[in-house]
Amino acid sequence: MEFKVRACRFNPETDEKPYYKEYTAEDYPGMTVLNALIKIKSELDGTLSFRRSCRSAICGSCAMKINGITKLACKTQVSHEIDKFGIINVEPLANMPVIRDLVVDQESFFDKIKEIKPYLLGQREDEAHNRFHALKEGEKISQPVYYKSEFQNLTGNEDTPNCILCECCYSECGGVVGNKNYLGPAALAKLYRYSEDPRDNDKNGSRLVGGSKPDGIWDCVHCQSCEEFCPKGISPVKAIVKLHEKSVKNSITFSAGSKHVVSIARSIGETGRLDEVKVAFESGGITGLINDLPMAFGAGLKGKIPPLRHKLIKDMEDIRLAYKELDLEDKL
């Protein structure tokens, strides 16, 4: 079966803006989008540029937008795309500048990975013997013992160490679209991965404090795209939410995001409902309130005023019991 590939082409040195070029290829059973692109490059147009390496969904090189969604070209079947869209549109990853055609500049992505310190911090006290020193005569190298249970948060199908740094999540992330400085799902999932590693010795909670600063964990827009489009089945957004929970439980609540979450929990604990005015005030403080005053005034004129006092939901004591059972009353 013949099918069309419409590839986004752009050479910043010679082209004013990106344009599309269409190619016709012949399908065969099991053909992937990467197979198709390699065929086009070798038989039709050697100038088409794209990254590729392993062809086995493990190196993460061939991530690109295929019919509007970021995927690994080597893991995407031509037949699947043709059945659904009738054509194969290929474009470079979003949220990064284009170097040539489907090749993007990954520097900003890897800078953000470096920013979360993707390595084990310090040394645990019981690892003191591991400090670098010349072995004395007869001294044996001893290894610390870790139990499997210590790694329980790092195992399972959705474990963050499986990340192949393909940038699919980063390309689809709403938070990065809105804020170029946002660290993004891959870096923050890695932050979670290290914060849960029993070998990490982050005595001062610097990972959680650093992650709570602007452009960090609280800037996630919860669009769920990172989970949906991760080719390795990882859920960065769930890792980010676990970091939220961990921060709140460790009283790292200086950011507007954490205040927002605590305020919603407090509102539900008090009335069973979400008190829009109170949550807005407690999250943004006086500055936020003044900032939003013109918008709030306009909405007020249209009658969009939430009640100042909320009626309790029926059987409110059920909700209070939930907080009591979970020992959360002192966190409000």
Partner 1 sequence: MITYAYYPGCVAQESGKELDNATKFIAGKLGMNLIPMPEASCCGGGVIDGFDKNLKLFINGRTLALAEKDGLDIMTICNTCTLTLSEVNEELINNPESLEKTNEYLGKIGLKYTGKVKVKHILYAVRDDIGFDKIKEKAVKSLKGIKIAPFYGCHILRPSSAVKFDDVENPHGFEELIKALGGEPVSYARRTKCCGFQTILVNEATSTSLAGNAIYEAQEKNADVMVTPCPLCHLSLDTYQTVAAKSINKKLSLPILHLPQLIGVALGADYAEMGFSRHNVSLRGIMAKIRQNEI
Min dist. Cβ of residue 61 to partner 1 (A) = 22
Residue 108 or 179 with smaller CB distance to partner 1: 179
* Paired strand residues for 25: 3
DSSP states of 26-45 as a string? E--TT-BHHHHHHHHHHHT-
Residue 161 or 178 with smaller CB distance to partner 1: 178
Min dist. Cβ of residue 270 to partner 1 (A) = 11
Min dist. Cβ of residue 14 to partner 1 (A) = 26
Q: Which distant-in-sequence residues (6+ apart) come within 8 Å of 97 by Cβ?
A: 104, 105
Residue 43 or 245 with smaller CB distance to partner 1: 245
What does DSSP assign to residue 246?
A: H
Q: Tell me the C-alpha distance between 323 and 331, whole Å.
A: 10
Residue 38 or 183 with smaller CB distance to partner 1: 183
Min dist. Cβ of residue 323 to partner 1 (A) = 7
Q: Tell me the C-alpha distance between 38 and 69, whole Å.
A: 20
Min dist. Cβ of residue 224 to partner 1 (A) = 4
Residue 38 or 159 with smaller CB distance to partner 1: 159
Q: Which distant-in-sequence residues (6+ apart) come within 8 Å of 144 by Cβ?
A: 124, 126, 127, 130, 199
Question: CB-based burial of residue 79 (10 Å sphere; 0-12 exposed, 13-18 middle, 19+ buried)?
Answer: middle
